[in-house]
Structure 1
Amino acid sequence: MNKRLYSKKKSDAVSGYLFLLPALLAFLLFIGAPMVITIVLSFFDYNMLQGSEWINFDNYIEFFKNPTSWQIIWNTFKLTLILVALHIVIALLLAFVIYKEKRGPVKYVYRTAVYLPSILTTASVAIAWYYMFNYDFGVFNWLLSQLGISGVKWLTSSSGVIVAICLFSLWKFVGTPFLYYLIGLQGIPDGYYEAAQIDGANKIQTFFHITLPMLTPTLFFVITITTINTFQIFDEPYIITNGGPGNASRTLALHVYEKAFKAYEMGYASSVSVVLFIIVLVITIILYSTQNKWVTYDVE
């Protein structure tokens, strides 16, 4: 009997690994192998036009010695902090308001309107927003002029470009965390709200003592995914501001692209990629290590 049970477990294990094999091979081919190659290249002075030379940690030393690198790192952190906060709060508010909407057709219209920008091509809408931010004939400065407010130099001032990128990113990508929140809200059992109503809890008390705690798994997922994605922000600064003015909106991902495909310094670009990977890895580990202190998984 034990041999038969052991044989069945072994057969199930083999079947499981066979099902995992395609995904594992895809991971090794498209993620694992490029990661190893990038780490190896980061120790080379590798120029696509001139060959390669082993230089140990010189690429990393050069990166951290350059004052511009620290500004680029700060730009990346600054955009991440602002955008993660905006996406978390505004997406939650939108999801909660639409979740409470009782009129079915109206709810579907609102839900579609919020999520639709997320499925549009970033490059195409970013070009449109680039013209909307124009100082002389952009729609944003025209709206400000109608209110008697002088125009803002959205794309030519160090503070304006950060605001421009955040506005565009919020409009473009808030639909994704919004959808996660909406699904999370729909998964909260109605019994909790009925019990709170019987106990006389008002709407604010219900939100902070029932809705928010029950939504913490979704909130944790949104924070993690949004943080990882925002640290790799590329499209917005590349298309809208091109990293300018100066280096005011240049991010690590944009810096990697410029060094790799404009300057052809693959070794240096690889070292910057490794730095970005380590930063994202450390932040992710910190988020996962703190989840047990505030995330509620037990809904019984």
Structure 2
Amino acid sequence: MSNTVVGLLFLAPALLFFVLFIGEPVVATLYLSFTKYNVITPAKWIGFDNIKHLFSDDRLWLTYGNTLKYVLILTPMHAILGLLIALAVNRNIGKGWKYLYRTIFYFPVLATSAAVAVAWQFIFSKDFGILNYLLGKFGVSPIAWMQSPHWVYVAVAIYSFWKFIGNAFLYYLIGLQSIPAALYEAAEIDGANKTQRFFSITLPMLSPTIFFVLVTTLIGATQIFDEPYLITSGGPGDASRSVNMYIYEVAFQHHEMGYASTLSLSLFLIILCVTVFQFSISKKWVNYDRD
């Protein structure tokens, strides 16, 4: 048996999984985007009607605006604060403390979103929430975290930080620990201070990790669903409703699977374009040279 055949046999399970659970749904979505389909009756071919509806759907563009706000808030928050936390934990402290901090920051990622969201709804409660209670100790009036179209984004950001900052933190920490200590020792002998070592060694060597975190975090923020769905239910009104929430509503509440497929493709194309752009400019600042 040739090496090619053996290789294909080893790849077969992964390829089968890809075809069944990724390839087939993508092809089905592309087909359904040109149909009117409500699950109960057979799909009816309607050509480009769904695409025409997409460009005239004011509610869709409102949700795209909301999603853009999430991207602008959550992407830098996770990318920057995750790095700062990783730098703090990576200091010259005992292994026991490092294990403890890693557990503290990463444990929320493992917790079930639906379960912890219930607790956070009580925390954000205007009248009975502990957050407003603590702020009241400093003379701050109760804030309508989940009822105000402005404060709702702050509430989602706080929950997202607590729940998901562990992902970025862990990637950064692994990246920091993979930087050769000899580089810092050589720079210290040459008289470089902490700031110079950070900008001349840490950032360039960590740039692949930073790039990975930026790409994955931006994609996650563009596809955001759990945070607004569980904390605010998209309210007040549509103030915090994301595109993914709107797609879910169109597909599973209005049963317009054809139009929902068109919306999904529009989101996919936007994410694809943004990701390609990120990769195209990464060559200018990402350093993969470890020698």
8 Å CA contact 2:38, 2:258 repeated in 1? yes
- Measured after TM superposition, the shift of residue 52 of structure 1 is 3.0
One-letter amino acid of the structure 2 residue matched with residue 31 of structure 1: I
Alignment of 1:105-184 (within 5 A): 105-184=96-175
- Following superposition, the deviation at residue 80 of structure 1 comes to 1.4
> How far apart, in 1, do the equivalents of 2:7 and 2:222 lie?
34
Map Cα deviations across residues 206-231 of structure 1 (whole Å, 9 max, x no partner): 11110011000111111111111221
2:208 counterpart residue number: 217
| Aligned residue type for 2:43 | S
Is the 8 Å Cα contact of residues 48 and 266 (structure 1) preserved in structure 2?
yes
C-alpha deviation, 1:57, in angstroms: 1.6
Secondary structure at the aligned position of 1:83 is classed as helix
Residue-by-residue CA offset, 1:119-172 (whole Å, 9 max, x unaligned): 111111111111111111011111110110111111111111111111101110
Matches of 1:291 and 1:11 in 2, distance apart?
Answer: 39
After superposition, the CA RMSD in angstroms is 1.2
Alignment pair present for 1:261 and 2:247: no
1:135 and 1:152 map into 2 onto residues whose CA distance is 6
Unaligned stretches of 5+ in structure 2?
none
Aligned to 1:299: 290
Tell me if 1:290 matches 2:281: yes
Secondary structure class of the residue paired with 1:244: coil
Residue 33 of structure 1: aligned partner:
24
Q: Distance in 1 between matches of 2:207 and 2:8?
A: 33
Shift of 1:50: 4.5
* TM-score, structure 1 normalization: 0.94
What is the TM-score of this pair, normalised by structure 2? 0.97
Q: How many residues were matched structurally?
A: 291
2:79 corresponds, among 78, 84, 88, to: 88
Letter in 2 for 1:232: Q
Instruction: Tell me the SS of whatever aligns to 1:158.
Output: coil
Paired residue secondary structure (1:102): coil
State the identity as a percent.
51
Amino acid at match of 2:140: I
* Residue 18 of structure 1: how far off its partner (Å): 1.9
Is 2:254 aligned against 1:231?
no
- The SS at the match of 2:90 is helix
Deviation string, structure 1 residues 63-105 (Cα, Å, up to 9, x no partner): 2212221111111121012111000001101111100141221
- Shift, 1:12, TM fit: 2.3
- In 2, distance between residues paired with 1:64 and 1:128? 39
Instruction: Give the gaps of 5 or more residues in structure 1.
Output: 1-9
Q: Which amino acid aligns with 1:105?
A: G
Equivalent residue, structure 2, for 1:208: 199
